[in-house]
């Protein structure tokens, strides 16, 4: 049996063979490696997204805790941030005393993350009870104030002259914290 093929068909066969080889090479050396990369990258992205979700959940939890804490302690936070003012102090607490004089305050030292100011006050009160009321009111003041020793009470005519030292705590802000975002 004699197999006869025309020259034109032979060319066509070679052309087909050439294209087929190109397709095979392209598939094995370009398409399949790229496909593997595709799978690997897709998996890596998914892993990162899962990781990010974990961070996001933790962020939400911490953010909620911070907001709750800020909300519960708003007065204290604001008081620590408020700069002491002799004028305002006298205005707020003058009513407790017959006379009240405050010496200009001075920064004494640093206490952890706070700046500590020392304020010397001299006042005249009619009864010690007034001083108790003043101490109670001080715990609700615009600043965080601690009455400190020495405290002196001296009888002067019909009044009691009281002199005492107060420590005012002010938050030291080295730098502002980065703005917090809620995603």
Partner 1 sequence: MRYSYIRPREKTIVTSEFKLVTSFFSVTFFMLFTTYGFLLYKNYSFIKNKKEVVYEIIDLNQSIFSMRNEIAFIENEKELATSIFTHNSVLKESIANLFDLVPEQITLSKATLLKNGLILQGITPNRDVYNFMLQAPLRSIFAQTYSSFYPASNGWLFFVSKNYVDSNETLIINKEE
Length of the chain: 183
Task: Please identify which residue in the block is written with the tokens 């005492």.
Answer: 164
Which of 44-52, 84-92, 96-104, 118-126 is the region at the interface with partner 1 (rule: CB under 8 A)? Answer: 44-52
Residue 145 burial by CB count (10 A; 0-12/13-18/19+): exposed, middle or buried?
buried
**Minimum CB distance to partner 1 smaller for 95 or for 152:** 152
Question: Distance between CA atoms of 41 and 51, rounded to whole angstroms?
Answer: 15
Cα 41 to Cα 47, 49, 67, 105: the distances in Å are: 10, 12, 38, 64
Which of 37-45, 83-91, 99-107, 118-126 is the region at the interface with partner 1 (rule: CB under 8 A)? Answer: 37-45
Interface residue with partner 1 among 10, 21, 108, 135 (CB under 8 A) is 135
DSSP H or E run through 106: strand 106-111
Regarding 7 and contact with partner 1 (CB under 8 A), the answer is no
Residues contributing to the site for partner 1 (CB under 8 A): 8-9, 12, 15-16, 19, 23, 26-27, 30-31, 34-35, 37-38, 41-42, 44-45, 48-49, 51-52, 55-56, 58-59, 62-63, 65-66, 69-70, 73, 76-77, 79-80, 111-114, 128, 131-132, 135-136, 138-139, 144-147, 149-155, 169, 171, 177-178, 180-181, 183
């Amino acid at each position: 049996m004699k197999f006869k093929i025309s020259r034109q068909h032979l060319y066509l066969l070679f052309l087909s063979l050439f294209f087929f080889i190109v397709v095979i090479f392209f598939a094995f050396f370009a398409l399949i490696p790229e496909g593997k990369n595709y799978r690997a990258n897709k998996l890596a992205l998914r892993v990162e997204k899962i990781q990010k979700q974990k961070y996001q959940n933790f962020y939400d939890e911490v953010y909620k805790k911070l907001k709750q804490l800020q909300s519960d302690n708003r007065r204290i936070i604001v008081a620590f941030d408020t700069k002491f003012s002799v004028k305002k102090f006298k205005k707020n607490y003058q009513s407790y005393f017959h006379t009240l004089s405050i010496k200009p305050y001075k920064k004494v030292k640093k206490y952890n993350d706070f700046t500590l100011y020392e304020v010397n006050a001299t006042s005249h009160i009619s009864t010690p009870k007034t001083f108790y009321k003043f101490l109670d009111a001080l715990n609700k003041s615009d600043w965080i104030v601690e009455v400190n020793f020495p405290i002196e009470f001296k009888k002067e005519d019909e009044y009691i002259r009281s002199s005492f030292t107060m420590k005012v705590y002010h938050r030291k802000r080295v730098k502002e914290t980065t703005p917090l975002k809620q995603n």
